[in-house]
Structure 1
Amino acid sequence: MTRAAELPGAASLVLASGVVHLDPAPAVFAAMLDGWAMQQRTRFLKASTIQSRTDLVRRFAAYTNEYPWQWRPVEVEAFIDHLRSGQRPIVVSTARGYQNTLRLFMEYVTDVRYAWPRECEEKFGRAPVQILHEWNTVAHVAEYEGDPRRRPLTYDEVQALFDAADGRVEEIRARRRKGALAAMRDAVLLKTVYAYGLRRREAWGLDLTDLRHNPKARQYGRCGAFYVRWGKSSKGSPPKRRTVLTVPEMDWIVPVLEQWLDEIRPGFGPGRLPALWVTERQSRLSRRSVNEAFEAARDAAGLPEELDLHCLRHSYVTHLIEFDYPERFVQDQVGHEYASTTALYTGVSDEYRNRLLQRSLDRHADRWSVS
């Protein structure tokens, strides 16, 4: 059996031996957080994930004005209730995420293999206990808990968004202001996100070498597919990779990308920079700028402000389904591990459902014919 001292994150590895603290409580709490971060790093979790988790634990400690060995269920219940009130109350999924994070931390500090219970008993006369249980946490009873206003765009809304993005270019030129190249880039970027159903990070991370030929669709040339290297990763795993094919219903993107590659992008003077989306400073476009490109076009088009960039990915899934692509094909295109996830993205239109209904009626017409 592994001894506590050998486990990454064990108390003996993060507590300075032989040091007597005038105020041991904050020192032990800081060591707990360091140990938990160490434990998570050995599981190859992302640094941003670890940081957000430890920040939440610090936030909870500041709210309670107590330390983990003093916490009881009533404190976490009051904390969540506090976050549900005010001008910007948290949503159910956020509450569950917070509870899961705190539960994981308490599992760590109550695990005897890491020796924190013994350390706390010796120093403070009480050991930490688990404060989150089935009876005081949010139950996961619904498949989708996001904002119901976030949805796929209709075809008209997609067109309005792209028209607004193109219109920004003409507006900047008409005013003789700088920024026309950047506006053209943003317009091509948004069209690419939709035409390939990309996540923000996936679009941001594209390089020139990620454009691929498709031997089965030679007419698309170098724009037959994108090799996506920055797909959403599972816990502790590197980003997932996939190839997204250009589909005939979206092949209007091919001349758009060709113009970007041959005429617009060179105007930024990117030199040997491999990034597909570049800035005037010869650097890769930031992820925040990808969001801002959507928001600017959305506002110019007069679309609801709750719509965000990810709605284009929802739209892509919905529209491929409406184009009668098999669900498995759509699932592979967008990189979903489970078909149920793809189904959550789908919001087919009434027109599409009526077409399906009409097909069914046509197939069964003989049953209703009068002899």
Structure 2
Amino acid sequence: MRAAEHSALGHPPGRDHTARSDALGDAVGDFLAHLRVERGLADNTIRAYRRDLDRYVGWLRARAIGSLGQVEPADLHRYERWLAAGDEDHQALAASSIARALVAIRRLHAFAAQEGLSATDPGTELHPPRTGRHLPKALSVEEVTRLLDGVERDSPRGLRDAALLEMLYGTGARISELLALDVDDLTRVLADPRPGLRVTGKGNKQRMVPLGSYAAAAVEAWLVRGRPAWATRSRAFTAALFLNTRGAPLSRQSAWEILQSRALAAGIPGPLGPHSLRHSFATHLLDGGADVRVVQELLGHASVTTTQIYTEVTAQHLREVYAAAHPRARG
């Protein structure tokens, strides 16, 4: 059957990877270009796909498999076992890492079949291992209050940090969405008596999120009393809303460091990241009675299933409160 498949594709049977040493690399390159150009995936996601697929291609070549058309379902199952077992060249991977790698491989083979690079799609028989569902870490309302109120607001650094943190928690936006904003975006919003902020999320999809009074006041203070002092430090003009001390646009790494240092100063155990405030935003809305579909729209989730994980967080919180407070919760 394998020989017949190769003949149908114009490939001679057998596993001569020396004659087709570029076929695998070319297929992966075409697939990654498809993800970047047609699917609009982020650069970090593309890099993760490349790491997983480079390891897969190396494994195939070591076993004289020179093209995706030569891969059979049994090969994929052997690769899955290899990832889980490890050897002298690599450590055994956790179930979550294996699942991620197998998803990349399944999508690669599906792409190859659609593009005519392979007569069959062996990935349809590959089922990534189930992984435990990790609930997002959300701060308590008291912790968020302590974090935000603990930022001094009498210096450009403090004004910027306060504006950034207030907006992360007040809008539930991703850090990449906030760092993409420019001054004009906020100038227009602050002039509206009922401010709503338009952000661009994954897949270049735009959505409107409300800007609460605390976040609006913090951003206005940064724009008026903080940002001008730093904007003049850079020779290259930038309209970015958030700047570093050199007057250049703030990076994601710097935003992460800001949250880490502010959380440490507030006595909040880590590690925390900008996503922690997004998780807290969603959890606190649901705790307050917000409908899950409203939260879905505010977060920019394509599916309500993604948002429903936060309902598990609130249910878990209720169980913890009950266990700690009810006199007959425990024997």
Give the corresponding residue for 1:114. 116
1:46 aligned to which of 17, 23, 41: 41
2-side partners of 1:232 and 1:63: how far apart?
Answer: 32
1:98 maps to 2:90: no
2-side partners of 1:300 and 1:93: how far apart?
Answer: 33
2:147 aligned to which of 139, 161, 170: 161
Tell me if the contact between 1:279 and 1:285 (Cα under 8 Å) persists in the aligned partners: yes
Name the amino acid aligned to 2:202.
Answer: K
Tell me if the contact between 1:210 and 1:228 (Cα under 8 Å) persists in the aligned partners: no
2:53 aligned to which of 41, 57, 60: 57
Give the corresponding residue for 1:232. 202
2:175 aligned to which of 185, 196, 200: 200
Name the amino acid aligned to 1:189.
Answer: L
Which secondary structure state, in structure 2, belongs to the residue aligned with residue 268 of structure 1?
Answer: helix
CA 55–350 in structure 1, closer or farther in 2 if over 3 Å, else same: closer
1:35 aligned to which of 30, 34, 47: 30
Higher mean alpha-carbon deviation, 52-61 vs 256-265, is at 52-61
Which secondary structure state, in structure 1, belongs to the residue aligned with residue 122 of structure 2?
Answer: coil
2-side partners of 1:315 and 1:93: how far apart?
Answer: 24
CA 214–255 in structure 1, closer or farther in 2 if over 3 Å, else same: closer
The CA deviation at 1:102 is 0.9
Tell me if the contact between 1:152 and 1:314 (Cα under 8 Å) persists in the aligned partners: yes
The CA deviation at 1:213 is 4.1
Which secondary structure state, in structure 1, belongs to the residue aligned with residue 22 of structure 2?
Answer: helix
Give the corresponding residue for 1:254. 216
Which secondary structure state, in structure 2, belongs to the residue aligned with residue 26 of structure 1?
Answer: coil
Provide the alpha-carbon RMSD of the alignment.
Answer: 3.9
Long gaps (5+) in structure 1: 1-10, 13-21, 118-127, 171-179, 234-238, 355-371
Give the corresponding residue for 1:152. 138
The CA deviation at 1:44 is 3.8
1:76 aligned to which of 61, 75, 79: 79
Which secondary structure state, in structure 2, belongs to the residue aligned with residue 226 of structure 1?
Answer: strand
Higher mean alpha-carbon deviation, 69-78 vs 302-311, is at 69-78
Tell me if the contact between 2:109 and 2:121 (Cα under 8 Å) persists in the aligned partners: yes
Name the amino acid aligned to 1:198.
Answer: A
Tell me if the contact between 2:199 and 2:208 (Cα under 8 Å) persists in the aligned partners: yes
Give the corresponding residue for 2:122. 130
Give the corresponding residue for 2:326. none
TM-score, with length taken from structure 1: 0.65
Tell me if the contact between 2:240 and 2:249 (Cα under 8 Å) persists in the aligned partners: yes
Name the amino acid aligned to 1:191.
Answer: E
Which secondary structure state, in structure 2, belongs to the residue aligned with residue 252 of structure 1?
Answer: helix
Tell me if the contact between 2:199 and 2:207 (Cα under 8 Å) persists in the aligned partners: yes
Name the amino acid aligned to 1:138.
Answer: P
Higher mean alpha-carbon deviation, 40-49 vs 258-267, is at 40-49
The CA deviation at 1:264 is 0.7
Which secondary structure state, in structure 1, belongs to the residue aligned with residue 239 of structure 2?
Answer: coil
2-side partners of 1:137 and 1:254: how far apart?
Answer: 45
1:242 aligned to which of 188, 197, 207: 207
2-side partners of 1:265 and 1:137: how far apart?
Answer: 48
1:310 aligned to which of 275, 287, 291: 275
1-side partners of 2:114 and 2:250: how far apart?
Answer: 47
2-side partners of 1:268 and 1:41: how far apart?
Answer: 35
1:24 maps to 2:15: no
1-side partners of 2:269 and 2:90: how far apart?
Answer: 21
The CA deviation at 1:138 is 2.0
- Give identity over the alignment, percent: 24
Tell me if the contact between 1:60 and 1:79 (Cα under 8 Å) persists in the aligned partners: no
Give the corresponding residue for 1:174. none
Which secondary structure state, in structure 2, belongs to the residue aligned with residue 114 of structure 1?
Answer: coil
Name the amino acid aligned to 1:31.
Answer: D
Give the corresponding residue for 1:6. none
Name the amino acid aligned to 2:129.
Answer: V
Name the amino acid aligned to 2:105.
Answer: L
Tell me if the contact between 1:73 and 1:132 (Cα under 8 Å) persists in the aligned partners: no
The CA deviation at 1:97 is 2.2
Give the corresponding residue for 2:13. none
- How many residue pairs get matched? 293
- Residue by residue, what CA displacement relative to the aligned partner does 1:200-237 show, whole Å, maximum 9, x if unpaired? 1111111122224489x72x6xxx222212x122xxxx
2-side partners of 1:298 and 1:289: how far apart?
Answer: 14
CA 133–285 in structure 1, closer or farther in 2 if over 3 Å, else same: same
- Residue by residue, what CA displacement relative to the aligned partner does 1:30-82 show, whole Å, maximum 9, x if unpaired? 23323334554563443624443233221123346233546513431233304
User: Which structure would you say has the larger Rg?
Assistant: 1
Higher mean alpha-carbon deviation, 290-299 vs 267-276, is at 267-276
Tell me if the contact between 1:226 and 1:245 (Cα under 8 Å) persists in the aligned partners: yes
- Residue by residue, what CA displacement relative to the aligned partner does 1:98-152 show, whole Å, maximum 9, x if unpaired? 111112223344x3852456xxxxxxxxxx9726624x53258x7xx22x4x421
